[in-house]
Amino acid sequence: MPFPILAELLRNLITTPAAVLRSRAAKDAEVLALRHENAVLRRQIARVRYEPADRIWLAALSRLIPRDRWRQVFAVTPTTLLAWHRRLIARKWTYTAGRRPGRPATAATVRQLIIRLARENSTWGHRRMQGELARLGYCIAPSTVWEILHAAGIDPAPQRSGPTWRQFLNAQAHTIIAADFLHVDCAITLKRLYALIFIEHDTRRLHLAGITARPTAQWTTQQARNLAMSLDQRMDSLRFLIRDCDRKYTDTFDAVFEADAIEILLTPPRAPRANAICERGVGTLRREVLDRVLIINQAHAHTVLTQYIRHYNEHRPHQARQQLPPNSGHTPPPHPADDLQAHRIRRKSILGGLINEYHQAA
């Protein structure tokens, strides 16, 4: 029991013998005075605040006063007095000192790991995660895994949402190729040219199919045939072609790819994000080349785009490929040279110095 509560109880016990030894008339008068004072205070104070020592003392005195007199003597209801008394008895018969501690709580790092496993593996249930945790050295019950998932608002595996679009596209990237048209305006004649480009999702390899001022359906189909011949063996690994609903893509255009078991996926109208990778390639062509060069004619546009696409596929780093160009495979970059005097960095200009490539000299 805290020391302030114990001291208050001792003071009350010391004053009790003095009250018992006084005369009956004096005690009765004092009781009447205290009752009147209690009534006055009740009219002035809405609620009385009792300290823990006060509650214990009143609960103990209530055992000496008849039950029907409690309402006149005490400033609280009988129910409150009984609750204080039960609390007093509970303090005496408590067993918290000898109680054994329960099972320790799961570490926060393990909780975070379980939530991470659930988010990265949508088909794993709590028992599959418990097995993976055991293999990692974390011995935890399956029920605990379930409780952590339930508290985090993660549904069981059969009811959990499937893979996100990012996960789906990353898993299917090696089978997807996308197509789109890019327009180029000539500087002198103000004639508009149209370039048909294709991009492979897995490697980000960009292909220029052709450039023309009149992109008819027959011309588009012929460029598709030329692309299929240039890709040769890689056509067998492709399964999907993403394109928009432009009328230049006819059934004969689709038949070129369907002959190699490639399924055509149409994007919704006015939804560039549905073909985001190809749209990003178009944006790169505009920002890095077409917005910085005055195109004279169709032959000039073909030369400029061909040179830049060669740079794009063979040298330009890509964030989606850990800063590797599309044609590099998965070969890591060379180790940096400590002495730049002994290993000089050479510059190679592209498009008359518009773009520079840097290589370590042999």
Q: Tell me what pLDDT residue 353 has.
A: 86
Helix, coil or strand: residue 126: helix
> pLDDT tens digits for 207-242?
999 999 999 999 999 999 999 998 887 888 899 999
Greater model confidence, 200 or 165: 200
Angle between helices 298-314 and 276-288 (to 10 degrees): 110
Domain borders along the chain are 3-92, 108-159, 170-328
Q: Give whole-number Cα distances, 5 to 61, 217, 353, in Å.
A: 16, 95, 88
Helices 3-21 and 52-61 pack at an angle, to 10 degrees, of 40
What 166-174 contacts at long range (C-beta under 8 Å, 24+ apart), as own/partner pairs, is: 169/201, 172/201, 172/239, 172/240, 173/201, 173/202, 174/201, 174/202, 174/237
Phi, psi angles (nearest 5°) of residue 140: -145, 145
Going by the DSSP 8-state scheme, the letter that residue 58 receives in this structure is: H
334 vs 315, residue with greater confidence: 315
Query: Which residues does 11 contact at the CB level (< 8 Å), separation at least 6?
Result: none
Which residues on adjacent β-strands are paired with residue 197? 180, 208
- Under CATH, what is the fold of the domain 170-328? Nucleotidyltransferase; domain 5 (3.30.420)
Name the more confident of 196 and 125.
196
Task: Answer yes or no: is pLDDT of 42 > 60.
Answer: yes
What is the rounded end-to-end Cα distance, in angstroms, of the chain?
A: 84
Q: In this predicted structure, what is the pLDDT of residue 243?
A: 94
The pairing of strands 206-212 and 176-185 is: unpaired
CA distance 182 to 210: 11
Task: Check if the beta carbon of residue 19 is closer than 8 Å to that of residue 27.
Answer: yes
Overall size of the chain counted in residues: 362
How much is the pLDDT for 214? 93
